[in-house]
């Protein structure tokens, strides 16, 4: 995922998303606005070519780990 240019904040969003949290829950947990999380998700989509939260979760569960390069 690092090769995609995923930032540390975006990795955090991915991990929380995979933990079953929604964008508003992620925002509350991180102390940000839900709109910030949505912007980060759009950036993740653009960088990875994935197009949904479910696709991100599926990619991680199939062995692509966003916490390691």
Over pLDDT 70: what percentage of the chain?
88
Q: Note the pLDDT of residue 54.
A: 94
Mean pLDDT over residues 41-60, rounded? 92
Q: How many CA atoms lie within 13 A of 10 on its CB side?
A: 21
pLDDT band at 3 (very low <50, low <70, confident <90, very high): confident
Q: Note the pLDDT of residue 69.
A: 41
Report the C-alpha gap between 4 and 17 in whole angstroms. Answer: 18
pLDDT per residue as tens digits for the range 18-45: 999 999 999 999 999 999 999 999 999 9
Using CB atoms within 10 Å of the CB of residue 13, give its burial: 0 to 12 exposed, 13 to 18 middle, 19+ buried. Answer: buried
């Amino acid at each position: 995922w690092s090769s995609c240019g995923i930032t540390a904040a975006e990795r955090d969003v991915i991990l929380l998303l995979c933990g079953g949290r929604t964008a508003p829950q992620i925002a509350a947990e991180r102390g940000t606005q839900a709109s910030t999380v949505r912007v980060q998700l759009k950036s993740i989509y653009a960088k990875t070519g994935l197009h949904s939260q479910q696709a991100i979760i599926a990619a991680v569960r199939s062995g692509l780990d966003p916490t390691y390069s």
